[in-house]
Amino acid sequence: MPQTSKRMTVAAKTVDRDKNYAIDEAVKIVKGNAKAKFDETIEIAVNLGVDPRHADQMVRGMVTLPNGTGKKVRVAVFAKGAKADAAKAAGADLVGAEDLAAKVQEGSMDFDRCIATPDMMGVVGKLGKVLGPRGLMPNPKLGTVTQDVEAAVKAAKGGQIEFRVEKAGVVHAGIGKASFSETQIAENVRAFLDALNRAKPSGAKGVYMKKATLSSTMGPGVKLVIGSGAPSA
């Protein structure tokens, strides 16, 4: 722990806490401070001017990061017949129907994304209490309830992530790894902010994006320039 504290102390000196940095400059600082012995995750946190307790202020969506997340994503697909075969061919890690549902009910959930064909929702719906709290319940609006399971699996494997506002009005997401180039990280940040802007709910009033911070797993946060120019800063 002392080594971590010393590293954080040194890293903190590279950040002006009163300054909002343009994306490229912020990425350079965050990547430069990611010096742990493992490949740190680059994370973004955005404070939104919404109250998610109101349905018309809920922010939720999907975004495909141009350079992926650097994380291996395990995908489970509820499908039968030809659709199950298509899911397997696309690279799904777990494919099944009632048999897969039984495993999930028993607590076996070794996957990060859950996809289902519409005809399987009668089976999947019974798993709501298990999948819901973990944010794994398939949803038509997010493209995870679909007939095109092949495309959904490839998207999940290719860098598509889900974002959802938390109770305090904050959205968190891992948008890359410290081993990515500065250009790759910056492109992912812009793609995420663009998607967040597009997901602005009808009930949002006043300032939508209040504050955004970029950091690595073990590094200090760096505030970003946000507002109308956020995605291209």
Residues 82-109: pLDDT tens digits?
999 999 999 999 999 999 999 999 988 8
Q: Which domains does the chain have, with CATH numbers?
A: 16-69+160-232 (3.30.190.20), 75-157 (3.40.50.790)
From CA 38, how far away is CA 157, in angstroms rounded? Answer: 22
| pLDDT per position as a tens digit, 18-58 | 899 999 999 999 999 998 999 999 999 999 999 999 999 99
- Pair 60, 199: CB distance under 8 Å: yes
pTM above threshold 0.85: no
From CA 210, how far away is CA 215, in angstroms rounded? Answer: 17
